[in-house]
């Protein structure tokens, strides 16, 4: 294991859900950053450059798709793997998320093991 702790940014407008995801990630030994809004999420991501971003799609100011598009268009951020966790579960919703740049798309409710595995897979696939 390396000396630098892996950081996960969680973007979720529901505080209880954000904290649940954060606790899941802390149990895996990750450092966690949280944002409840898209605008503050952009600042958080730019200032901290997390190893993985876990984001919801439906949020009041920016959608998770907007966050993905912004990240993918930013040279410093486009490499960061993203895990979408959303209640939007229709095949078209999932396709839209993946087309927007999501590394992995999970639907709510999400089990601890599924989120843990998705983040681990995203991290493994991001390493060169």
Mean pLDDT value of segment 104-122: 97
Distance CA 19, CA 7 (A): 15
Give the per-residue pLDDT at 3. 53
Assess whether pLDDT exceeds 80 at residue 127.
no
Residue 128: pLDDT over 80: no
pLDDT value for 116: 97
User: Over 50: is that where the pLDDT of 1 sits?
Assistant: no
For 45, the domain range is 7-126
Residue 37 maps to a domain: yes
The reply to whether 1 falls in a domain is no
Residue 2 lies in a domain: no
pLDDT tens digit sequence for 31-90: 999 999 888 999 999 999 999 999 999 998 889 999 999 999 999 999 999 999 999 999
Q: What pTM was estimated for this model as a whole?
A: 0.94
Number of domains into which the chain is organized: 1
Q: Looking at the domain assignment, is residue 28 inside a domain?
A: yes
What is the CATH number for 51?
3.40.50.2300
Give the mean pLDDT of the chain: 93
């Amino acid at each position: 294991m390396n000396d630098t702790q892996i950081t996960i940014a969680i973007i979720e407008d529901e505080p209880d859900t954000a904290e649940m995801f954060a606790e899941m990630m802390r149990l895996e030994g990750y450092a966690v950053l949280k944002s409840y809004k898209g605008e503050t999420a952009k600042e958080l991501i730019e200032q901290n450059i997390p190893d993985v971003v876990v984001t919801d799609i439906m949020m009041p100011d920016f959608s998770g798709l907007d966050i993905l598009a912004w990240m993918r268009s930013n040279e410093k951020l486009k490499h960061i793997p993203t895990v979408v966790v959303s209640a939007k579960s229709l095949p078209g919703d999932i396709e839209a998320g993946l087309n927007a740049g999501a590394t992995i798309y999970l639907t709510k409710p999400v089990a601890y093991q599924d989120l843990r595995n998705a983040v681990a897979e995203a991290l493994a696939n991001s390493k060169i």
